[in-house]
Structure 1
Amino acid sequence: MAELIALLSYGDAGWGDELLQGLLITLALALTTVPFALVLSFLIAWAKQSKNPLVARAGRTYTTVFRSLPELLTLLIIYYQLQSLLNYVYSFFVEDAAISLNAFVAGVVALTLVFSALGSEVVRSAYQAVGSAQTEAALALGLSRRVTFFKVLLPQMWRHAIPAFGNLWLILLKDTSLISIIAVSDLMRFTNMAIATTREPFFFYSVVALIYISLAFISGLAQKALERNASQTYIGGR
């Protein structure tokens, strides 16, 4: 057992520093994706409820496509096809263009597309839970649409959306492991490297499983704190 624990030491003798570096990359990928996915979720939800039929159809198509595709397939399409498309467009300006798309950026883009499609449904459900009467009442009082959204709708929608977004966050954390397939040195990639070197798959997979369970536990505590804060803010503001 001591020999296995020694495999987690730092330096040349162990893989502790590599696993920590991979964990930081995993968290960086997830945390970078979240703000883009949240903003895009609201935009897609707005598009699907637009009175313009073309905009509404485009929003529904976006959601259908990226909810249907496996996350791995979306990642591979973004990484390989988007790179080819960029080279094709750039070739009109520079002959023999060769653009190499950063794998981390490709991972952020792919995960943003997938989770904004899922998040748009969360936003739409949260808006329906609040109801359009809140908007009508705020506008009748003379509030601008911007103030109505940020001061009236968003706090109430956020309270309804936290549980669903919490679930999406956990899914996002797990799906970050997919980027190891495009050579991003995340937690799973370093784990597989450690297994290939030490021939100890059960030990390293168990360690990584404990890490993901710990992340899920911490995320659950953060979600409960957000829900409690949102409820207190809502009750205090009534």
Structure 2
Amino acid sequence: MLNLQGYGPSILEGTILSLEVSIASLGIAMLLGIIGALSKLSNSKPLRLVAQLYTTIIRGIPDLVLMLLVFFGGQVFINQIGPLVGYDEYIDINPFIAGVSTIGFIFGAYMTETFRGAILAVSKGQLEAGSAYGMSNFLVFRRITLPQMIRHALPAFGNNWLVLIKTTALVSIIGLDDMVRKAGLAAGATRKPFTFYLVVAINYLIITTVSIYLLKYLEKRYSVGVREASD
């Protein structure tokens, strides 16, 4: 039995915060992913160019570097802009907002490619049939594209989610008290780093394992009709 020397509640608090960061980041990533995918498939050349630049740049810069750029660079930028609008006090960027925004922005690029591929996997004949029945583009997307897109996107979406969960460990470097930072503080106080980082590893393993089973359930749920039709 691991002896956490009274730091158990602190690690639990950090674990909950890590989950909050993960879920909030996922929400941003999904929104950016949908926008990016639709932009890449748009007839507008400027939109396609912006989306392509977004995915290329984000996938080419290490996550850690982006986190530091957003947190420290953003703080410098905001404090330079402040005096120009009559605000002279120093402005601190909230680590939670910085962490969630950065991770969401990073994984929005990966979700863009995931959703783009899923949309392209939907039969064009069905989309044309929807338009022929008088459906608007939005209605075609909501009733035809989206349900099938989810099924095609789930495997890659699941991989992105699992990587995103592990990426949340980076928020500890900007001072957010997630479970990695909590473990580091406890390890420094007790001089037992192996014990506390082992607990963190187990926590991440539990979260990802539960996620895998939930994703498998969703994949089965969205594949039921397809399997029946193919039998």
Q: Which residue matches 2:69?
A: 77
Give the whole-Å Cα distance in 2 for the aligned partners of 1:85 and 1:154. 39
CA contact (8 A) 2:25 2:100 kept: yes
Q: Which residue matches 2:16?
A: 24
Q: Find out whether 1:94 has 2:94 as its counterpart.
A: no
Q: Which residue matches 2:151?
A: 159
* Aligned pair partner of 1:203 in 187, 191, 195: 195
Give the whole-Å Cα distance in 2 for the aligned partners of 1:40 and 1:49. 14
Q: Tell me whether 163-172 or 87-96 shows the greater mean CA deviation.
A: 87-96
Give the residue type in structure 2 aligned to 1:108: V
For structure 1, the 5+ residue unaligned runs are 8-12
For structure 2, the 5+ residue unaligned runs are none
CA contact (8 A) 1:155 1:234 kept: no
What TM-score comes out, normalization by structure 2 length? 0.94
Give the whole-Å Cα distance in 1 for the aligned partners of 2:79 and 2:202. 42
- Cα deviations by residue, 1:139-162 (Å, 9 ceiling, x for unpaired): 011111111111110000000101
Give the residue type in structure 2 aligned to 1:6: N
For residues 211-222 of structure 1, the aligned pairs below 5 Å read 211-222=203-214
Identity within the alignment, %: 35
* Aligned pair partner of 2:34 in 36, 42, 45: 42
1:99 is paired with a residue of what secondary structure? coil
Deviation at 1:234, TM superposition (A): 5.7
* Aligned pair partner of 1:126 in 114, 118, 136: 118
- Cα deviations by residue, 1:168-210 (Å, 9 ceiling, x for unpaired): 1110110000010011000100111111111112222222211
Give the whole-Å Cα distance in 2 for the aligned partners of 1:26 and 1:90. 31
Aligned length: 230
- Cα deviations by residue, 1:46-66 (Å, 9 ceiling, x for unpaired): 111222222111110000001
Q: Which residue matches 1:144?
A: 136
Deviation at 1:131, TM superposition (A): 3.4
* Aligned pair partner of 2:3 in 1, 6, 9: 6
Between 1 and 2, higher relative CO (CA 8 Å, sep ≥ 6) is seen in 2
Give the whole-Å Cα distance in 2 for the aligned partners of 1:236 and 1:36. 35
Give the residue type in structure 1 aligned to 2:159: N
Give the whole-Å Cα distance in 2 for the aligned partners of 1:39 and 1:104. 19
Give the residue type in structure 2 aligned to 1:42: I
CA contact (8 A) 2:14 2:182 kept: yes
- Cα deviations by residue, 1:85-133 (Å, 9 ceiling, x for unpaired): 2223332211424221101000011001110001100011101111333
CA contact (8 A) 1:156 1:234 kept: no
CA contact (8 A) 2:28 2:105 kept: no
